[in-house]
Amino acid sequence: MPAPAFGVQFVYTNPDEPEFVGVVRDGDAVIMPSGFHPNVSVPGHKINFVWMMAAHREVEDRQFGVVSVQPGFDQGGSGLEASRK
Amino acid sequence: MSTQMKEALDQRIFRGTNRHKGRHISITPENSAMKHLVYGRIILDQEVPRVFFETGQLESGLICLSGKCTIEAEGQTFELDTWDSIYLPRDTDVEVSTDSAVDLVECAAKVETRYPLQVVRYADVERDGSLRFQTGGPATTRTVNITLGKNVEAGRILAGFTTSEPGH
């Protein structure tokens, strides 16, 4: 997402009281200890990002795709079911 | 806890983590609300073509975001191209070098066990429908790439990247 493009990142459990809402640019890193975390780019640009996680319990909790989908946006599942196959 | 310390732990965004040449760790459990995760970048070019580090108590995963590099570890040499990844066990001496330029993202976490060094070729990720897949609807399509996932034996870290077309 090189300049001038930028995105907007949200992190919240309650959307009315978000922990973070802000402009993100190439090279920025946002931490999300918990919560829903949608993002969007400015019109006409991609939003590509690296993500990473560290399990609380070694090996036992190291699972991808175990997520909670925000109520109201969960009609299509998590969208990550393919990773569990 | 001091007010300054609390503000640091409440910090949710770390700006410009790709501004430093060499190896630069931006996020740790000590400076953030992360319990285990360590994040950094290794950016090399003709001016800074080589870095050496020890993983210590951390397992470490590197994803090559651009360029290419050579990684020496455990007496072996590995060539990493764009989107390739490598898993480096704890207690490993690592040298990363490039003849051109490279931008690597580093993901690490403290572990008790030493898991084996593993190289992940992006070509293998592309071929596996559970590691690379599209998600979302017609207007919200994203492609998820899991480069350090169930394809890698590890203790804590999971990593990859997600891409989208404009408007998604």
Instruction: Show the low-confidence residues of chain A (pLDDT under 70).
Output: none
A43 touches chain B (CB under 8 A): yes
A12 with A19: CB under 8 angstroms?
yes
Chain A contact set for B63 (CB, 8 A): 50
Q: Which amino acid is at B103?
A: D
Residue B32 domain-assigned (yes or no):
yes
Q: What average pLDDT does range B43-52 have in this prediction?
A: 98
Give the strand order in the sheet containing A20-24: A20-24, A7-11, A39-41
More confident residue, B72 or A66: B72
A20 touches chain B (CB under 8 A): yes
Residue B130 domain-assigned (yes or no):
no
Closest-CA residue to B157 (of B105, B92, B97): B105
For residue B99, what is the DSSP state? S
Of A31, A45, A62, which is closest to B12 when you measure between CB atoms?
A31
How many domains does chain B contain in total?
1
Of A26, A52, A56, which is closest to B107 when you measure between CB atoms?
A52
Residue B104 domain-assigned (yes or no):
yes
- Domain of residue B90, residue span: 3-119
Residue A75's CB: how many other CB atoms inside 10 A?
A: 7
pTM of the model: 0.94
Query: Under an 8 A CB cutoff, do A64 and B150 touch?
Result: yes
Query: Under an 8 A CB cutoff, do A29 and B63 touch?
Result: no
pLDDT tens digits along B76-94: 999 999 999 999 999 999 9
What are the beta bridge partners of residue B87? B61, B118
Backbone angles phi, psi at B122, to 5 degrees: -60, -30
Residue B50 domain-assigned (yes or no):
yes
CA B64 to chain centroid, in Å, comes to 8
- Who contacts A57 (Cβ-Cβ below 8 Å, separation ≥6)? none
B108 with B156: CB under 8 angstroms?
no
Residue B163 domain-assigned (yes or no):
no
Residue B31 domain-assigned (yes or no):
yes
CATH number at residue B68: 2.60.120.10
Res. B1 pLDDT band, cuts 50 70 90: low
**Which residue in A6, A11, A21, A52 has the most chain B C-beta atoms within 10 A of its own C-beta, making it the best mutation to test that interface?**
A52
Residue B160 domain-assigned (yes or no):
no
Predicted local confidence at residue A66, as pLDDT: 80
ipTM of the complex: 0.94
Please say if the pLDDT value at position B20 is more than 90.
yes
Chain A contact set for B19 (CB, 8 A): 27
A56 touches chain B (CB under 8 A): yes
Phi-psi region of B155 (alpha: psi -120 to 50; beta: other; left: phi over 0): alpha
Q: What average pLDDT does range B35-40 have in this prediction?
A: 98
